[in-house]
Structure 1
Amino acid sequence: MTCRFGNAITFGSAAALLLLSGCQPSGPVAQKADADRLVAVRTVAVTESEIQPTTTQPASVHAFYRSEIRAKVPGFVSELKVDIGDVVQAGQVLAQIDVPEMEKQRQIIQARIARLKAEEKRATAGVNLADAQVRSSQARLAQAESEMSRVDASLAAAQSEFERTSDLVERGSLQDRMLDESRKKRDSERAAKQAVASAIESAKANVAVTEAQKAAAEADLEAAQAETMIAERELEELQVMIDYATVRAPLAGIVSQRNVEPGDLVGSGADQASTKPLFVISQIDKLRVRIPVPETEAAHINPGDEVTLTFPTFSGEPAITAAVTRQSGSLDPSTRTMIVEVELENAEGKLLPGMFGRASIKLGSKVAANMLPSRAIRFSEEGNATVYVLGQDDTVTVAAIETGLDDGNSIQVRSGLLPGQRVIDAHLKRFTDGQKVSVLAN
């Protein structure tokens, strides 16, 4: 249907009348109405560029070493030497615990050692006496053996004289009386030899007895010395426990906690692990920064990788550049992350244990990737990524893509788009497949 109006009606009024009358506009009027209904958008293109793969994760600052100090012996705190914030050196006294029971035990053991030392002296004297008796009995044995040699010689002489006298008597040169005297003398020497032999046996038996007495005395001495040594070791053990009453710093650092007051009873609980420590010493001149890296990126972390650290506390200052020092080498089953550590020098004490920040770790060398500005990508509640792709005729196609690395400004497009393809830039409106748009000049 063709509608006609007078020449006095303006172009805008004609369009309005056409709509009211149900007539369809044609010609230039229709083209302008369609253009007014198109949404104006700006576009960005997928670009191929080299990127440095990184992972950005939360980071927490920890003391290089942190020692919780508990009481080893039960007692009352008699003196505190330090307080929170004090800088201490390794071995420095932190507190003193009063242990009077142990002091009394030490006195008792010392008295027992004195008694055992006296018993040692008595046993030593017994050994010396037994040794003298052994030497005396050995001397008597030697004397008896020497007497045996003399008796043997006398017996041999008497036997020889008896034989000569007997020969002379048989030939009638001497009277029988002379043979009897010679026989008596020989028999006397034999008896003397038997007496000396008995004396030798007695002397040998006496030597054996005195040697046994000496061995017994030496055993008594060794037993006394062993008893003394046991008591001395008990005293040393007790002294070690008494030394624990002087609480010392195991390392150089700062007193970050103090949970004890003078007069407190400490070290008496059965389970000290469940109680608060007396002190906590933290080494902060050097720190550890711990970074939990997700499972998907943990395998790409290596010691020496560059790390950039930023902390909200120092937002106006340059980032800290460091390197990965070590990694745990396993994933935490509860979080599926691997702990990565970075060591930082902190001589000025600028960083404090407990601070939180962000760490960006470079993963290997640069790689080629298709990139889009992050503002041009829409993410659903499920985390799925989509973009509005524009065709040659400015028609919209809703395309699902797979994303990769994210540097905060641009996101890698792993699949779903090709380099050079145009997509709608950030826009508040949602678009549908086949919808036409008006592209603004960039």
Structure 2
Amino acid sequence: MILRRGNPIRLSLAAAPLLLAGCLPAPPVAKKSDADRVVAVRTVAVTESEVQPTTLQPATVHAFYRSEIRPKASGFVSQLNVDIGDVVQAGQTLLQIDVPEMSKQREVIQARIARLKAEEKRAAAGVNLADAQVRSSQAGLVEAESEMNRADASLAAAESEFQRTSDLVERGSLQDRMLDEVRKKRDSERATKQAVASAIDSAKADVAVTEAQKVAAQANLEAARAETMIAERELEELDVMIDYATVRAPIAGIVSERNVEPGDLVGKASDQASTRPLFVISQVDKLRVRIPVPETDAARVNPGDEVTLTFPSFSGEPPIKAPVTRRSGSLDPSTRTMIVEVELENTDGKLLPGMFGQASINLSTKVAANMLPSRAIRFSEDGKAYVYVVGQDETVTVAAIETGLDNGKAIQVRSGLLPGQRVIDAHLKRFTDGQKVTVLAN
């Protein structure tokens, strides 16, 4: 081959891109987006089952009895026997109030009682005197009535003699002067009888007078006794007021509050209704746990229902289980809640009045509910529950639901789903309306 000098071989610029293209690798095939990818999921169905409903509410511990001690007597505190934390028994003396003016009043009433008792004795003597006068007048009446019997007999004898003498005179057996003597004797006996009758009337009047005097004397005695009784009752009332100066514990418990110092001037509770009590005594060997149950659950709580109590102070310990002891039976208009009480023994003093906890009450009636495993239910940022419903064509629908009971494993679906509907089980992916999925066999 002959090469000509001065004529080099040149490559066309148009051919360069073709050569470069033959040297580069082929472009990659475009991948499908995540929205177009079909995700494999497992589903669970809404099942209808009978569940034990519960209600979870706050609970507060209260003393079984809490007694606020206020003074009934007025005076200065002369003796203080207890302080906070002391355990006291019912009837134990807490403090003593000095009441010297009441002691003087007591002496005055005692003197008045002594005087009234003397008057009572004098009235009793008057009754005895009146009784003796009554007996004397009654004896006089008896004597006069006896004289009347004698006068009746004498008059009868004189009448008989007068009749006999009159017959003899008429026959001429006796002279007329004999009849005059007999007539005078008869008239004398009649006068005697009239005198005796007058004496009887006088004796009866004396009896009536003395009996009236006796009644008056008895009335005086009763009045004296009544005056004595009034004074004695006044003394008893004063003794009660003096006894109030010794302030005693009405219940057994622990002194949880003291608001008095030795030497303080204290007054009657009626005068200090707005002030703090002298002492507060709480019975803590037995406690009440009060639970406010809302209106929606109140009607289904009954005595005997099981209550599970938990307290933050004992977070590492097992919960306390106890039955419902009583229910108030009415709603508080301000809170629309009903108070439920649970009694707990607290002999070890572990629980303290004022502690706060939670109470889970097993309501007495079981209910039929649509349930879903709790893992299949999602919650939005604002706390609203929703699920991913899978239709027959394996298309996802986002459905908002209303939840109810929660037993820790399953949650009740109050609305938004029907029994038998299937939803996506626990899954890390978020789904959208209309998205296609592949349902794996369970």
Q: Shorter-normalised TM-score: what interval? A: 0.7 to 0.9
Deviation at 1:397, TM superposition (A): 3.5
Match of residue 422, structure 1, among 417, 421, 424: 424
SS at the partner of 1:288? Answer: strand
User: Is 1:373 aligned to 2:374, yes or no?
Assistant: yes
Deviation at 1:104, TM superposition (A): 2.1
State the match for 1:206 in structure 2: 206
Structure 1 pair 162–130 and aligned structure 2 pair: CA distance change class (3 A): same
Structure 1 pair 99–38 and aligned structure 2 pair: CA distance change class (3 A): farther
Give 2:33's aligned amino acid. Answer: D
User: Is 1:66 aligned to 2:63, yes or no?
Assistant: no
Q: Can you give the 5+ residue segments of structure 1 that lack an aligned partner in the other structure?
A: 16-28
- Contact 1:374–1:408 at 8 Å: present in 2 too? no
State the match for 2:139 in structure 1: 139
- Contact 2:390–2:422 at 8 Å: present in 1 too? no
State the match for 2:303 in structure 1: 303
- Contact 1:127–1:221 at 8 Å: present in 2 too? yes
State the match for 2:182 in structure 1: 182
User: Is 1:353 aligned to 2:353, yes or no?
Assistant: yes
- Contact 1:46–1:372 at 8 Å: present in 2 too? no
C-alpha distance in structure 2 between counterparts of 1:136 and 1:191, whole Å: 26
State the match for 2:5 in structure 1: none
Deviation at 1:34, TM superposition (A): 2.8
State the match for 1:23 in structure 2: none
C-alpha distance in structure 2 between counterparts of 1:273 and 1:425, whole Å: 65
Structure 1 pair 414–189 and aligned structure 2 pair: CA distance change class (3 A): closer
User: Is 1:193 aligned to 2:193, yes or no?
Assistant: yes
Q: Which moved more, 1:116-125 or 1:268-277?
A: 268-277
**Number of equivalenced pairs:** 421
- Contact 1:385–1:401 at 8 Å: present in 2 too? yes
Structure 1 pair 36–199 and aligned structure 2 pair: CA distance change class (3 A): closer
State the match for 2:123 in structure 1: 123
Give 1:422's aligned amino acid. Answer: I
SS at the partner of 1:105? Answer: helix
Deviation at 1:257, TM superposition (A): 1.2
State the match for 1:25 in structure 2: none
Deviation at 1:294, TM superposition (A): 1.8
- Contact 2:259–2:278 at 8 Å: present in 1 too? yes
Q: Which moved more, 1:68-77 or 1:57-66?
A: 68-77
Deviation at 1:178, TM superposition (A): 4.1
- Contact 2:70–2:269 at 8 Å: present in 1 too? no
SS at the partner of 1:96? Answer: strand
State the match for 1:399 in structure 2: 399
C-alpha distance in structure 1 between counterparts of 2:54 and 2:254, whole Å: 35
Structure 1 pair 392–10 and aligned structure 2 pair: CA distance change class (3 A): farther
- Contact 1:99–1:245 at 8 Å: present in 2 too? yes
Structure 1 pair 374–303 and aligned structure 2 pair: CA distance change class (3 A): farther
CA offsets, 1:194-226, max 9 Å, x none? 322222222111111111111111111111111
Deviation at 1:317, TM superposition (A): 0.7
CA RMSD in angstroms comes to: 3.4
State the match for 2:33 in structure 1: 34
- Contact 1:387–1:424 at 8 Å: present in 2 too? no
Q: Which moved more, 1:92-101 or 1:317-326?
A: 92-101
Deviation at 1:162, TM superposition (A): 3.8
C-alpha distance in structure 2 between counterparts of 1:81 and 1:270, whole Å: 24
Deviation at 1:353, TM superposition (A): 0.7
Deviation at 1:304, TM superposition (A): 1.4
Give 1:143's aligned amino acid. Answer: E
Give 2:379's aligned amino acid. Answer: R
User: Is 1:251 aligned to 2:251, yes or no?
Assistant: yes
State the match for 1:330 in structure 2: 330
Q: Which moved more, 1:181-190 or 1:105-114?
A: 181-190
CA offsets, 1:132-188, max 9 Å, x none? 011111111111111122222223333333444444455555455544443443333
State the match for 1:90 in structure 2: 90
C-alpha distance in structure 1 between counterparts of 2:271 and 2:340, whole Å: 33
C-alpha distance in structure 2 between counterparts of 1:7 and 1:409, whole Å: 64
- Contact 1:375–1:426 at 8 Å: present in 2 too? no
- Contact 2:77–2:264 at 8 Å: present in 1 too? yes
C-alpha distance in structure 2 between counterparts of 1:377 and 1:321, whole Å: 32
Give 2:412's aligned amino acid. Answer: Q
Taking only the aligned residue pairs, the percentage that are identical comes to 73
Structure 1 pair 126–304 and aligned structure 2 pair: CA distance change class (3 A): same
Deviation at 1:86, TM superposition (A): 1.4
User: Is 1:114 aligned to 2:124, yes or no?
Assistant: no
Give 1:369's aligned amino acid. Answer: N
Give 1:378's aligned amino acid. Answer: F
Structure 1 pair 200–342 and aligned structure 2 pair: CA distance change class (3 A): same
Deviation at 1:130, TM superposition (A): 0.6
State the match for 2:76 in structure 1: 76
Structure 1 pair 157–370 and aligned structure 2 pair: CA distance change class (3 A): closer
TM-score by length of 2: 0.84
- Contact 2:375–2:426 at 8 Å: present in 1 too? no
Give 1:138's aligned amino acid. Answer: Q
Give 1:34's aligned amino acid. Answer: S
Deviation at 1:59, TM superposition (A): 0.9
Q: Which moved more, 1:43-52 or 1:86-95?
A: 43-52
C-alpha distance in structure 2 between counterparts of 1:80 and 1:404, whole Å: 57
CA offsets, 1:47-85, max 9 Å, x none? 648554222111111111111121122222221222111
C-alpha distance in structure 2 between counterparts of 1:367 and 1:280, whole Å: 49
- Contact 2:376–2:424 at 8 Å: present in 1 too? no
C-alpha distance in structure 2 between counterparts of 1:193 and 1:437, whole Å: 144
